[in-house]
Structure 1
Amino acid sequence: MSDKPADAAKDKPAGKKKLVLIGAIVAVLVVVGAAAAWFMLGAQGGEGEEGAPAQHKAAAPKGPPTFLPIENMVVNLADPGGDRFAQLGLTLELADAKTAEQVKQFMPTIRSAILVLVSQRTSDELLTKEGKEKLAQDILREVSKPLGYKVPKKRKPSKDEEEDEDEEEAPRPSANPVRGVLFSSFIVQ
């Protein structure tokens, strides 16, 4: 019987050694993981891909966006004579499903604002790429208002900036969950 307590006493230090060894391995793994994360994030530096600042890359969406189609709209245009109209199909690109539910609550207000915006345009304005882009930006602003977000107006480029038309636009504000306005159909008659 005296052998069993001695064996138990020998096992206790071995058990403590195992715990210390496991703790040391976990600590090393944590340090290696932290160093790898620091290296990967630090490697992006002040600029990410394509020269975009890293802070804008960090604000990029983490998951896929939610798309909310808006029922087609037919609007009389502001052309002289009043015989021109536009039929628009819109889809909103939103950050998540929660934002989609918020937008649905304000849908009558949003549709009304969009109808007013489009009815102020002429067919000549809507038939150009710039006219469609401006309309999309104005619709983005109107959709964001009821949610409490502001979208800055796009400033006119200076003469120096007009030469480089392929230059990317400034990124949209990351706090706004309304990311974009997409045209699913666009008919002007």
Structure 2
Amino acid sequence: MASPAGTEQPIVTVKSDKLKLSLLIAMGIIVLLGAGAAYLLLYGPDLRELENPAPAPPVFFPLETMTVNLQSDDSMHYLRIGLTLELTDRRSQAALVERMPEVRSSILMTLSAKRPEDLEGIDGKLKLAKELLAIVENADGVPGNPIRVQEVLFTEFVIQ
């Protein structure tokens, strides 16, 4: 009929022990996950570095010094100019080397059409740098040209 209270007690204890064991295992897993997350936050890689990798170093490509006659009404003037191109990558450098005769010719033609007054002051030089940048990037006249120039740098600039 009714079983004594002593026989039901072990069944409850076994279920209670399994529940305690499951809770202890779950708590241990949670503690380990928390410790792993804390370690990654403190000693792991900086997420800002992963999102914004360091840019590739620029490639500087010096051009040979050029000397050209300038347009002038009163007397003969010439320009001696040294240029270095700051390129975005090595692929641009390879494309520039292939197109160097065209690039030099275009630069020389552009420079020889200038007047001394066009090149005076910082504004004249900045305008010339922008013109030369466009000339180099459009050397072959094909859209999507692989030559990418960040900046045209003057290494020598003498008007006489």
TM interval, shorter chain, is 0.5 to 0.7
Please, what TM-score do these two structures have when normalized by structure 2? Answer: 0.65
Residues in 1 aligned to 2:99 and 2:147: alpha-carbon distance in whole angstroms? 16
Per-residue CA deviations over 1:71-106 (Å, capped at 9, x if unaligned) read 111111011156111011000000122211111111
Q: Which residue of 2 aligns with 1:67?
A: 60
Letter in 1 for 2:33: A
Residues in 1 aligned to 2:113 and 2:147: alpha-carbon distance in whole angstroms? 26
Structure 1 pair 176–112 and aligned structure 2 pair: CA distance change class (3 A): closer
Q: Give 1:28's match in structure 2, choosing from 19, 37, 41.
A: 37
Q: Classify the secondary structure of the residue corresponding to 2:138.
A: helix
Structure 1 pair 27–89 and aligned structure 2 pair: CA distance change class (3 A): same
Q: Give 2:119's match in structure 1, choosing from 126, 148, 152.
A: 126
Letter in 2 for 1:68: F
Q: Which residue of 2 aligns with 1:177?
A: 148
Work out the number of aligned pairs and report it: 130
Q: Which residue of 2 aligns with 1:145?
A: 138
Q: Is the 8 A contact 1:76 1:82 kept in 2?
A: no
- Percent of aligned pairs with the same amino acid: 29
Letter in 2 for 1:24: L
Residues in 2 aligned to 1:32 and 1:104: alpha-carbon distance in whole angstroms? 47
Per-residue deviation at 1:28?
A: 2.6
Q: Classify the secondary structure of the residue corresponding to 2:103.
A: helix
Which one has a bigger Cα radius of gyration? 2
Give unpaired runs (5+ residues) of structure 2.
1-25
For the aligned residues, what is the CA RMSD?
Answer: 3.8
Q: Classify the secondary structure of the residue corresponding to 1:28.
A: helix
Per-residue deviation at 1:113?
A: 0.8
Give unpaired runs (5+ residues) of structure 1.
1-16, 42-57, 151-174
Residues in 1 aligned to 2:83 and 2:101: alpha-carbon distance in whole angstroms? 14
Moved over 2 A (4+): 23-34, 146-150
Per-residue CA deviations over 1:127-158 (Å, capped at 9, x if unaligned) read 221111111000000000136459xxxxxxxx
Q: Is the 8 A contact 2:62 2:83 kept in 1?
A: yes
Q: Which residue of 2 aligns with 1:37?
A: 47
Q: Classify the secondary structure of the residue corresponding to 2:72.
A: coil
Q: Is the 8 A contact 1:94 1:180 kept in 2?
A: yes
Per-residue deviation at 1:61?
A: 7.0
Residues in 2 aligned to 1:63 and 1:106: alpha-carbon distance in whole angstroms? 23
